[in-house]
């Protein structure tokens, strides 16, 4: 990932460009609708889906409630199995730890398993600054990396690219990073996959250090789990001598048995597969098999702060399946980049403003990047009530209030730019708790109805730019009701 999210414009401005990009709209519509339909079928096959969803929710809530205990247990289990555990409070500390561990091996390049946590902390850029080259090996992450692009989807980071664009990127860029693309490469999926396979193979065979995230960490046994579809992840997890895994603390589950639930709900929700193709599990190190050294970097980076918020903490249940992205009508039209974070879509709109705070323009705008249609909540396999959290975060933006940042209690000031709205909301509340005031306003609107323009000036253009205003009736309902005694006196 060579792009950066710093200084992103607010969501509405970023989305404006993507809404009018016909190629992007086409790519996203095709991809999200295809996976949406498949997911629906895959979920409908499971008779006890509602119970699995509830179980997943409860397991995660239980872990989050007792995270202190489970993390210590996890550290003990991983250590007993031959791994080394490092604790990172934030992105900077995590990057520093990983860079040091890589340098200690004497290597200058690493192969990477697709990982959201390392994207979140900007690990590739941090390693590059230390003279270490990180190669993404997930096919879609490779497309993003070669294209000097940013991921726009949690599961399918290159969802915004079509086959033709991918062929062009491979042809142009592969030679810069290693084995060039074959001559005369076409946009057929088989040829593109083969080009990536050949390009990546030499990296797998050469690399001495692998870096991964993890989907789950089992506290009881110290086992880490990576769920992927290509097998490239397994190459990185098994071939190198040193394996470094950077994992968010909320990825812990108490016992091996808890995986039973998530290994059913995750594949069906994300790729619509009944069973995940490559599920890699490892516990510490083994003599003469797999990596000789294993390091686990436990990442906080805003998670403990998020945990302190009793409404917002449910976002930490997320298992990164992307079902909410695929079903979201806003994501489908705005595209992932507009969310200004490695976590786009509905889950990103509640995760980013919590992990990063609401101080930046983009983070303060994310809670509004939703029509609150609720489709995300409906498909979420751990029942995160995303609309509830969005509204809660809107409140945080407009009202401010006490939150936990970097472990300390701070009182947020209301965000700038909401003063006029706040005044309007107060005035509306005042008028609407006084029926007489509402009636006066309605009558005024009715009397001046002929003056109503077809379009509005200033901020009103946001409505009337694309939609006609509704006509104002000659009298409000309440006047008709009173005049005719509920229609009883109305002339037939």
Question: For residues 339 and 331, what is the distance between their CA atoms, to the nearest angstrom?
Answer: 9
Spacing of C-alpha 289 from chain mean position:
35
CB of 18 to another protein, least distance (A): 9
Of the pair 159, 366, the CB lying nearest another protein is at: 366
Provide DSSP, 342-357.
SS-HHHHHHHHHHHS-
For residue 357, how many other CB atoms are within 10 A of its CB?
18
Sheet holding 216-218, edge to edge: 252-253, 216-218, 223-228, 278-283
| Beta pairing partners, 19 | none
CB contact at 8 A, 93 and 305:
no
Position among 34, 188, 428, 447 found at the interface with another protein (CB under 8 A): 428
CB contact at 8 A, 389 and 315:
yes
CA 323 → CA 24, 204, 234, 297, 375, distances in Å? 19, 31, 24, 27, 10
Q: Which stretch binds another protein (CB under 8 A): 180-188, 230-238, 280-288, 393-401?
A: 393-401
128 binds another protein (CB under 8 A): no
429 binds another protein (CB under 8 A): yes
- 361: nearest Cα among 416, 308, 398: 416
Query: Any residues with CB less than 8 A from the CB of 149 and at least 6 apart, and which?
Result: 1, 2, 3, 143, 158, 161
154 binds another protein (CB under 8 A): no
**Number of residues forming the site for another protein (CB under 8 A):** 67
Question: For residues 254 and 55, what is the distance between their CA atoms, to the nearest angstrom?
Answer: 13
With tokens 């701070």, the residue in question is: 410
CB of 464 to another protein, least distance (A): 8
- 39: nearest Cα among 418, 338, 321: 321
Q: Which stretch binds another protein (CB under 8 A): 70-78, 191-199, 206-214, 364-372?
A: 364-372
CA 474 → CA 68, 158, 437, 467, distances in Å? 64, 54, 18, 21
279-338: contacts with another protein (CB under 8 A): 310-311, 329-330, 333-334
The residue ranges of DSSP E strands in 34-188, in sequence order, are 84-88, 109-112, 133-136
CB of 487 to another protein, least distance (A): 5
Position among 26, 131, 164, 486 found at the interface with another protein (CB under 8 A): 486
Of the pair 344, 367, the CB lying nearest another protein is at: 367
What is the bridge-based pairing of β-strands 209-212 and 109-112?
parallel
Of the pair 48, 399, the CB lying nearest another protein is at: 399
CB of 434 to another protein, least distance (A): 8
CB of 472 to another protein, least distance (A): 7
Using only C-alpha atoms, what is the Rg of the chain?
A: 26
339 binds another protein (CB under 8 A): no
367 binds another protein (CB under 8 A): yes
Of the pair 263, 308, the CB lying nearest another protein is at: 308
Position among 84, 85, 263, 391 found at the interface with another protein (CB under 8 A): 391
Of the pair 85, 311, the CB lying nearest another protein is at: 311
175 binds another protein (CB under 8 A): no
18-77: contacts with another protein (CB under 8 A): 19-20, 25
Of the pair 33, 286, the CB lying nearest another protein is at: 33
Position among 451, 487, 489, 491 found at the interface with another protein (CB under 8 A): 487
CB of 371 to another protein, least distance (A): 3
Q: Which stretch binds another protein (CB under 8 A): 112-120, 230-238, 269-277, 465-473?
A: 465-473
* DSSP-derived 3-state class of residue 271: coil
463 binds another protein (CB under 8 A): yes
Question: For residues 492 and 471, what is the distance between their CA atoms, to the nearest angstrom?
Answer: 24
CB contact at 8 A, 83 and 284:
yes
What is the binding site for another protein (CB under 8 A)? 11-12, 15-16, 19-20, 25, 310-311, 329-330, 333-334, 367-375, 377-378, 388, 391, 393-399, 421-422, 425-426, 428-429, 432-435, 438, 441-442, 445, 459, 462-463, 465-470, 472-473, 475-478, 480-482, 486-487
């Amino acid at each position: 990932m060579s792009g950066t999210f710093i200084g992103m414009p607010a969501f509405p401005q970023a989305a404006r460009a993507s809404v009018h990009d016909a190629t992007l709209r086409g790519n996203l519509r095709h991809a999200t609708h295809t996976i949406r339909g498949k997911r629906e079928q895959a979920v409908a096959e499971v008779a006890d889906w509602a119970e699995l969803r509830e179980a997943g929710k409860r397991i995660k809530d239980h872990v989050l409630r007792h995270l202190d205990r489970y993390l210590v247990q996890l550290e003990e289990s991983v250590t007993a199995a031959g791994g080394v555990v490092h604790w990172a409070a934030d992105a900077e500390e995590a990057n520093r730890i990983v860079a040091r561990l890589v340098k200690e091996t004497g290597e200058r390049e690493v192969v990477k398993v697709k990982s959201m946590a390392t994207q979140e902390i900007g690990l590739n850029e941090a390693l590059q600054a230390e003279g270490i080259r990180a190669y993404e090996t997930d096919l879609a992450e490779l497309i993003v990396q070669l294209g000097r692009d940013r991921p726009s989807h949690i599961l399918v980071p290159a969802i915004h690219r079509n086959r033709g664009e991918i062929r062009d990127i491979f042809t142009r860029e592969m030679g810069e990073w290693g084995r060039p693309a074959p001559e005369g490469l076409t946009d057929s999926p088989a040829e593109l996959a083969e080009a990536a396979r050949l390009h990546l193979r030499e990296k797998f065979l050469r690399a001495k250090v692998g870096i991964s995230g993890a989907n789950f960490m089992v506290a009881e046994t110290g086992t880490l789990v990576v769920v992927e579809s290509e097998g490239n992840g397994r190459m990185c997890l098994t071939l190198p001598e040193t394996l470094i895994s950077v994992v968010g603390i909320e990825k812990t589950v108490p016992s091996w048995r808890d995986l039973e639930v998530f290994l059913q709900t995750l594949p069906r929700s994300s790729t619509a597969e009944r069973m995940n193709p490559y599920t890699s599990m490892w516990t510490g190190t083994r003599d003469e098999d797999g990596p000789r050294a294993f390091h686990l970097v436990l990442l906080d980076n805003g998670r403990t702060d998020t945990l302190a918020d009793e409404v917002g903490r449910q976002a930490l249940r997320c298992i990164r399946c992307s079902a909410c992205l695929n079903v979201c009508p806003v994501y489908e039209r705005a595209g992932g980049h507009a969310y200004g974070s490695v976590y786009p879509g509905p889950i990103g709109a509640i995760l980013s403003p919590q992990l990063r705070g609401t101080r930046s323009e983009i983070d303060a705008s994310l809670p509004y990047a939703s029509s609150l249609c609720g489709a995300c909540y409906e498909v979420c396999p751990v029942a995160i009530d995303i609309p509830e959290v969005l509204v809660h975060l809107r409140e945080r933006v407009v009202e401010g209030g006490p939150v936990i940042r970097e472990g300390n209690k701070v009182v947020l000031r209301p965000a700038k730019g909401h003063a006029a709205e706040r005044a309007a909301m107060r005035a509306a509340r005042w008028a609407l708790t006084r029926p007489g005031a509402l009636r006066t306003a309605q009558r005024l609107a009715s009397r001046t109805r002929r003056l109503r323009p077809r379009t509005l000036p200033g901020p009103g253009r946001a409505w009337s730019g694309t939609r006609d205003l509704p006509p104002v009736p000659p009298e409000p309902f309440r006047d008709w009701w009173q005049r005719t005694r509920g229609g009883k006196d109305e002339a037939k």
